[in-house]
Structure 1
């Protein structure tokens, strides 16, 4: 280990804060990390909530001032799990202050913000300060193994990619407004929240990048109850107070990769019955792969070079010690879960910092995803992408 621990401040808490905290707590206990991870400080807007988060999630102290946190000499790493509207300001300030930065996805709410973050990360890297964006699903062993297989030529030349992220937590029209449904705080809806994962994972597995897109966006429910939590309303008042939904509920788009491969993408929070179904299928000249986050310990593999009578998708149980990350955990067949990806994220991030190498995905990678999302939105706003199915001469 290095002589000096890495002292971490996490800005924000809640769902992603709990997941990141799990990673910081657990990774040093299962992986032989080159540095001690000191969970020094958690920062939140409300003092009481931040104090509860510190006690419950394992942080030594709490604060309500992120600016003071990044200026402290006893903080080395800033982990950002706030809504996207604050990512750029916090990340740029932290990098300029000489702190390594881990930032949740999507990198920012706009391309301009993401570009400013990538520029700040580039400047910081010249001083040995590094930044990484948290596309955690890259660290699911089956997804990482899928990338290894594609890179080894197991599916041959990639021709087609299908990626979808299906959830249903907004199907109920009476579900209240949250920050994720407001463009000024979230940037976009399903497109940025979960579509970003579909884009990044498809590119990660194939080793290819999306060059152009054509898409459409849809908002199914335009108004929602404000709810009592955000406005301090009574239950009776919350039933009559509504807020406007200013982001998409569904994103559908086609993409053409730099290699010439073609992809289809879907991101929705209105897929009734689907809870967290991130799926990627890669079809190549010599075979195919399929990954499903709701069955995250396995990978489907089709070998098109096998004799016809023996062809069919094979289910590979990705729990062997030879598989990515798995050797640190349990015996073969003992399953991993959602939270393990965050431990793997910490492992890779800490190792990169100590070895003074750029961790991936970088802020430049996050900027690229933001550019893809912006291109989808621009395409959806351009009426020319719609061609009538029936001619009316």
Structure 2
């Protein structure tokens, strides 16, 4: 970065921090107008941000998104959005292949960025994003980290209550692409990238396992299948519908993973089981109000009750026990922590671009393992 550009960036960053310190609402721009834009906008509003602008896939779609989401103005391009006054952070919620160029443009404009996963469709692009982020806040919504009982599971492993981690098993199952008539841009390699099911939801699964255990997947063997190769709008589909993975961790644990977008009846079932020498810990995202602790004698369910949880878990409890929290609450907590980081805080467990790069590397290793039929190191 040249000196002139660096000076301009420093000035913009100082302006942002100054406004945050004066308790002015953070100014938000959103790129994309689909389902994830809706989720991001709700979280931004919950964090008392000002939703200044949105860019859609077309001017008409941008205008519709602004109306639907209560955003002040639709802009015709990302460049126009970035030039708008008051924008501090941009949320990138577009198809996967657009993440890298759009997030790089946001960073080059001196803005903070929240970029949907996968961070990029190649390791090289993800590395460029990490390098470009510098001192800017750049986060990736691995939001399942923000369920209070996920933090409780993490605390139990960290304090040694589970004992040495011996095994891990997990699955992420959905059914929204179950039939040939179900279609989406994600099935297209040019829009979604080489991997679909694993990059889209398997990345969440691995991130959650590594986050809870504090250990990293070191090597993988995998098998993948495309069961429906001809969909309504995409003939000759090449991206995978399902993946099974065997893994070994750096700490010596072994495990298995199953990822599928063709699992009848499973809407968004992210499930992990960490088997320790003293107890097993099980979290199910579709049943997020309890954490199962498996013991040789005296297994029990821990409720999402702040009086019974570790401090970092209790911090994320926003309603009394018995009043359910869910996915949007976890997303709200992630965005609130991202904005707190913009203000100079250092929230524990905030997933940043480095975590997004990690997910891209794991995904690439799984795809290579499946293609080669051999184990791959990460």
Q: TM-score range by the shorter chain?
A: 0.7 to 0.9
User: Are residues 1:361 and 2:367 paired?
Assistant: no
Counterpart Cα distance in 1 of 2:308 and 2:332: 18
Counterpart Cα distance in 2 of 1:148 and 1:384: 35
> 1:14-72 CA deviation, whole Å, 9 max, x = no partner?
111111111111234xxxxxxxx211111112222222222222211111301221233
Q: Superposition pairs for residues 200-279 of structure 1, below 5 Å? A: 200-226=207-233, 243-279=235-271
In structure 2, do the counterparts of structure 1 residues 321 and 65 end up closer, same or farther at CA, with 3 Å as the change threshold?
A: farther
Counterpart Cα distance in 1 of 2:217 and 2:356: 13
Counterpart Cα distance in 2 of 1:157 and 1:357: 29
Structure 1 residue 182: deviation in Å?
A: 0.8
In structure 2, do the counterparts of structure 1 residues 370 and 41 end up closer, same or farther at CA, with 3 Å as the change threshold?
A: same
Counterpart Cα distance in 1 of 2:67 and 2:318: 27
Alignment match of 1:7 (pick from 4, 22, 27)? 27
Matched position secondary structure for 1:41: strand
Matched position secondary structure for 1:381: helix
In structure 2, do the counterparts of structure 1 residues 39 and 85 end up closer, same or farther at CA, with 3 Å as the change threshold?
A: same
Normalised to the residue count of structure 2, the TM-score between the two structures is 0.88
What's the counterpart of residue 98 of structure 1? 110
> 1:266-308 CA deviation, whole Å, 9 max, x = no partner?
110111221111000000111110000110111111245xxxx
Matched position secondary structure for 1:259: coil
Aligned residues: 350
What's the counterpart of residue 318 of structure 2? 329
Give structure 1 regions of 4+ aligned residues with deviation exceeding 4 angstroms: 325-328, 356-359
Structure 1: gaps spanning 5 or more residues: 29-36, 227-241, 305-310, 386-393
Alignment match of 1:82 (pick from 94, 111, 132)? 94
Structure 1 residue 367: deviation in Å?
A: 0.7
In structure 2, do the counterparts of structure 1 residues 93 and 274 end up closer, same or farther at CA, with 3 Å as the change threshold?
A: same
Matched position secondary structure for 2:267: coil
Matched position secondary structure for 2:86: coil
User: Are residues 1:184 and 2:223 paired?
Assistant: no
In structure 2, do the counterparts of structure 1 residues 380 and 352 end up closer, same or farther at CA, with 3 Å as the change threshold?
A: same
Structure 2: gaps spanning 5 or more residues: 1-19
What's the counterpart of residue 349 of structure 1? 338
> 1:120-142 CA deviation, whole Å, 9 max, x = no partner?
12xx21xxx21111111111111
Structure 1 residue 243: deviation in Å?
A: 2.3
User: Are residues 1:142 and 2:149 paired?
Assistant: yes
> 1:63-99 CA deviation, whole Å, 9 max, x = no partner?
1301221233421101111111001001111112111
Greater shift, 211-220 or 65-74, is seen at: 65-74
In structure 2, do the counterparts of structure 1 residues 76 and 149 end up closer, same or farther at CA, with 3 Å as the change threshold?
A: same
Q: How well do the aligned residues superpose, as a CA RMSD in angstroms? A: 1.8
Structure 1 residue 325: deviation in Å?
A: 5.5
Greater shift, 100-109 or 52-61, is seen at: 52-61
What's the counterpart of residue 32 of structure 1? none
Matched position secondary structure for 2:169: strand
Alignment match of 2:306 (pick from 320, 328, 345)? 320
What's the counterpart of residue 6 of structure 2? none
Normalised to the residue count of structure 1, the TM-score between the two structures is 0.85
Q: Contact (CA 8 Å) 1:25, 1:58: kept in 2 or not?
A: no
Matched position secondary structure for 2:274: strand
Q: Contact (CA 8 Å) 2:231, 2:237: kept in 1 or not?
A: yes
